[in-house]
Amino acid sequence: MLDHTTDNLINQLLAAVGPAGLVTATADQAAYTTDWLGKWHGRVPVVVRPANTTETAAIVRICHATHTPIVTQGGNTGMSGGATPDSSGAQVIVSTTRMNQIRAVDAINNTLTVDAGVILARAQEAARDVQRFFPLSLGAEGSCTVGGNLATNAGGIAVLRYGNMRDLVLGLEVVLPDGRIWNGLRGLRKDNTGYDLRSLFVGSEGTLGIITGAVLKLFAQPSARTTAWVTAPSLEQLVTLLSVLRSRCGERLTAFEMMSQDSLDLVLKHVTETRAPTTGHSAFNALIELSDTEDSGLQEMLENELSNAMKDGLIDDAVMTSSQAQVAALWKLREGVSQAQVRAGAVVKHDVALPISALAAFAAQAGVAVLAATTAAGTTGRIINFGHLGDGNLHYNVLLPADLSSAAIHGHTLLINRVVHDLVLDFNGSISAEHGIGQLRREELRRYKSPLEMELMLRIKRAFDPNHIMNPGKLL
């Protein structure tokens, strides 16, 4: 911080937001200064919790004048350390969680306007209240915020049908790094009036401004749904099944989530009240969902397709659901992988995107390369491969043996990341499909993004934030 003492800064912020908007006690700040994985820890003089856009703008003006770096935080559920401050004690956290108003619902325009701090599940509920559907859905939906979803361009389990967060937003309101408010809260499907500023803020991870409001796209509510679990001998066969279902069921295919048998076993071991949906032991599992606005014979359609897939040798087994409880039990298996990994120990995470046609070849080569690398390093690694197969997004994670020192974990992580990400590059994929860069993949980004793309991104950053106060140390 330049020129101003911490006390001075806190007094100015106090005048802007009042006592209810400040968290100054270190013990109370703990929930904000550490990420949910317990991987990153930081220190701040103060956490500021504005109640609205005007207060947010006042905070940013103060930070702009004092050159105080800002780390914006929503639900603090991110996977890449983007919302955790550094340990200098010079950064402040601006938490959006008090900005939690549903501003407007327009059922005719199919739009929902919300404060950025609205919890994702609350936005889904507000859409349901007017018989509409907001499709973004992910394991953390009970605590992540719409602002965080936008800032990370979140994906989740319905991307193959509805797209990711970038596809689900029509307008934004943003407090810029100098404290001015950009009101781009337009609910338009067509707007060709120049550069797409909105899109720049999506996926910017708090480095260009603080998103304070958003106009989200709503869809017709799917009132019919059918869900099945299948097992398959190889990833290649699951990819073929995905392709068959896409062509046969079209838009009705709304989820195609994959879990290797090792991922499933991890969940069964570490998450209570879970059980295997089938008795056999195939290498891969998939959770498949069809949905529609009316019951157009979905169950029969899926049954037929899976029966044909069985005859064609694409799958070993299939289980259809007949109750909501069964559906919930299947989703608990898929959504339990994150929690199971935390309980299992040190995991080297990846969040890679590949052309769907290359997934099986990638996974086969990555398996060989990871095995060779871990063996050469004198260790072992259990591959926990799961993810959003329908989007070509694998969480190709590697579970390390228990009781390794943190130095060994660090060394193995660098090694395994290198092997996996080099292969991703060979397949023309991406090293971050949906979790963003944050502080986790900052070095990797510099390594894998072309110098020209890095230069263009840095120029954009400088144009918006010349003083470099928005989430320094993240993304770029």
* Residue 140: CB atoms within 10 Å: 22
Q: Which two tokens stand for residue 190?
A: 């067509």
Q: Is 341 in the site for ligand 2HG (CB under 6 A)?
A: yes
Positions 430 through 449 that interact with ligand FAD (CB under 6 A): 434-435, 438
Pairwise CA distance, residues 297 & 224, whole Å: 9
- Determine the size of the site formed for ligand 2HG (CB under 6 A): 8
13 contact choice in ligand FAD, ligand 2HG, none (CB below 5 to 8 Å, kind-dependent): none
Pairwise CA distance, residues 121 & 53, whole Å: 22
Which of 210, 235, 352, 384: binder of ligand FAD (CB under 6 A)?
Answer: 210
Q: What DSSP assignment string belongs to 378-415?
A: T---EEEEEEEGGGTEEEEEEEPPTT--HHHHHHHHHH
β-pair partners for 395 = 386
Which of 78, 392, 429, 473: binder of ligand FAD (CB under 6 A)?
Answer: 78
Q: Is 263 in the site for ligand 2HG (CB under 6 A)?
A: no
Q: Is 148 in the site for ligand FAD (CB under 6 A)?
A: yes
Q: Is 33 in the site for ligand FAD (CB under 6 A)?
A: no
Instruction: Give the containing element (helix H, strand E) for 5.
Output: none
Pairwise CA distance, residues 93 & 83, whole Å: 8
SS3 7: helix
73 contact choice in ligand 2HG, ligand FAD, none (CB below 5 to 8 Å, kind-dependent): ligand FAD
Q: CB-wise, 33 or 393, nearer to ligand 2HG?
A: 393
Pairwise CA distance, residues 143 & 84, whole Å: 16
Select the span of 40-48, 96-104, 337-345, 412-420 touching ligand 2HG (CB under 6 A). 337-345
Answer yes or no: are the C-beta atoms of 288 and 227 closer than 8 Å.
Answer: yes
Which of 9, 47, 79, 431: binder of ligand FAD (CB under 6 A)?
Answer: 79
Q: CB-wise, 21 or 387, nearer to ligand 2HG?
A: 387
Q: Is 138 in the site for ligand FAD (CB under 6 A)?
A: yes
Amino acid letter at 259?
M
- Here's the x/- map for ligand 2HG, 359-398, by CB under 6 A: it reads as ----------------------------x-------x-x-
**Closest separation in Å from C-beta 434 to ligand 2HG:** 6
Could you tell me which of 264, 280, 276 has the C-alpha nearest to residue 329? 276
Answer yes or no: are the C-beta atoms of 99 and 116 closer than 8 Å.
Answer: yes
Answer yes or no: are the C-beta atoms of 211 and 173 closer than 8 Å.
Answer: yes
Answer yes or no: are the C-beta atoms of 114 and 128 closer than 8 Å.
Answer: no
Instruction: Give the containing element (helix H, strand E) for 10.
Output: helix 6-17
- Determine the size of the site formed for ligand FAD (CB under 6 A): 37
Select the span of 153-161, 252-260, 261-269, 412-420 touching ligand FAD (CB under 6 A). 153-161
List of E strands, 261-330: 284-292, 317-320
- Here's the x/- map for ligand 2HG, 131-170, by CB under 6 A: it reads as --------x-------------------------------
Question: Could you give phi then psi for residue 258, rounded to 5 degrees?
Answer: -110, 145
Answer yes or no: are the C-beta atoms of 168 and 217 closer than 8 Å.
Answer: yes
341 contact choice in ligand FAD, ligand 2HG, none (CB below 5 to 8 Å, kind-dependent): ligand 2HG
Q: Which two tokens stand for residue 89?
A: 């004690």
Q: CB-wise, 384 or 475, nearer to ligand 2HG?
A: 384
Pairing relationship of beta strands 92-95 and 47-48 according to DSSP bridges:
parallel
Instruction: Give the containing element (helix H, strand E) for 29.
Output: helix 26-33
**Closest separation in Å from C-beta 272 to ligand FAD:** 16
Select the span of 44-52, 289-297, 333-341, 373-381 touching ligand 2HG (CB under 6 A). 333-341
Distances (CA, A) of 353 to 140, 253, 330, 388, 392: 20, 20, 24, 9, 5
Pairwise CA distance, residues 69 & 63, whole Å: 7
**Closest separation in Å from C-beta 37 to ligand FAD:** 8
Q: CB-wise, 62 or 419, nearer to ligand FAD?
A: 62
Which of 29, 91, 149, 417: binder of ligand FAD (CB under 6 A)?
Answer: 149
Those residues whose C-beta lies under 8 Å from the C-beta of residue 273, and which sit 6 or more positions away, are 332
**Closest separation in Å from C-beta 461 to ligand FAD:** 14
Answer yes or no: are the C-beta atoms of 257 and 207 closer than 8 Å.
Answer: no
Q: Is 289 in the site for ligand FAD (CB under 6 A)?
A: no
**Closest separation in Å from C-beta 22 to ligand FAD:** 18
Which of 45, 85, 155, 277: binder of ligand FAD (CB under 6 A)?
Answer: 155
349 contact choice in ligand FAD, ligand 2HG, none (CB below 5 to 8 Å, kind-dependent): ligand 2HG
Q: Is 163 in the site for ligand FAD (CB under 6 A)?
A: no
Note the residues at the interface with ligand FAD (CB under 6 A).
Answer: 36, 71-79, 82-83, 96, 116, 138-140, 144-145, 147-149, 151-152, 154-156, 205-206, 210-211, 338, 434-435, 438, 471, 474
Note the residues at the interface with ligand 2HG (CB under 6 A).
Answer: 139, 337-338, 341, 349, 387, 395, 397
